[in-house]
Amino acid sequence: MTRPSFKQLPQFVRYLMVGGFNTLFGYALFALLNWVLSGLGRYSYLLAAVLGNVVAITVAFLGYKWFVFRTRGHYLREWIRCLGVYGSTMVIGLVGLAILVPILEHHLERPILAPYVAGAMMTGVGVIISFLGHKNISFRRTISEEDGDLQTPEAG
C-alpha cells in the first residue's frame, strides 16, 4: 500500500501541516527577536512580534499558495489579501499580548517568561482566525479580470 503524497491529502490537513510548520517557525522567530531586542526596553516584545510577523506572514503565504490552496498567478493580489488577514490577526495578537503579559508577570514565578507564555497562548487564537480568513478572503475563488478563468482552490 502506498502512502498518499502531500498533494493528495485533504486541503485542511495540508493547511494544518503548513500552518504547524509556520506556527513553529513564527514562534521561534518571535522568541529569537524578543531575546535579541530585549535590551531596547520594557515593550520590546511588541517590536519583536511585529517584525517576526512580517517575515512569518510571507513564509506562510507561499506555503498556503503553493501547497494548500494551490492557486496560480495573482501573487501580489493574494499576498495583499493575506497581509490583510494576518494584519487583523496580528492586531488581535498585539492587543492580547498587551493584556496578557502584565497579568502573567504578576502570576508567574519567573516574570521574564511572560512574553513567551503570552505569545504561545495567542498562537491558538491566531490559527483559528487565519484559517477562516485565508479560506474566505486570501485564496477565495475569484473570477480573473484578465482572462475570465475561474481560479478554483481545491475543495478537498
- At 92-127, the pLDDT tens digits run 888 999 999 999 999 999 999 999 999 888 887 787
pTM summary value: 0.62
Our CA dihedral for 69, 70, 74, 77, rounded to 10 degrees, sits at: 20
Per-residue pLDDT of the chain (156 residues), as tens digits, is 666 676 678 888 888 899 889 889 998 999 999 999 988 988 898 899 889 988 988 898 999 999 988 888 888 989 899 888 888 887 888 899 999 999 999 999 999 999 999 988 888 778 778 878 888 888 876 555 344 544 444 444
Q: Please give the pLDDT value at position 134.
A: 86
Q: Residue 57's closest CA among 37, 73, 81?
A: 81
Beta bridge pairs of residue 143: 150
Beta bridge pairs of residue 150: 143
Q: Please give the pLDDT value at position 155.
A: 44
Dist CA 72 CA 81 (whole Å): 15
Dist CA 81 CA 56 (whole Å): 15
Beta-carbon contacts of residue 86 (< 8 Å; ≥ 6 apart): 53, 57, 60, 130, 133
Please answer whether residues 81 and 125 qualify as being in contact, where contact means their C-beta atoms are separated by less than 8 angstroms: no
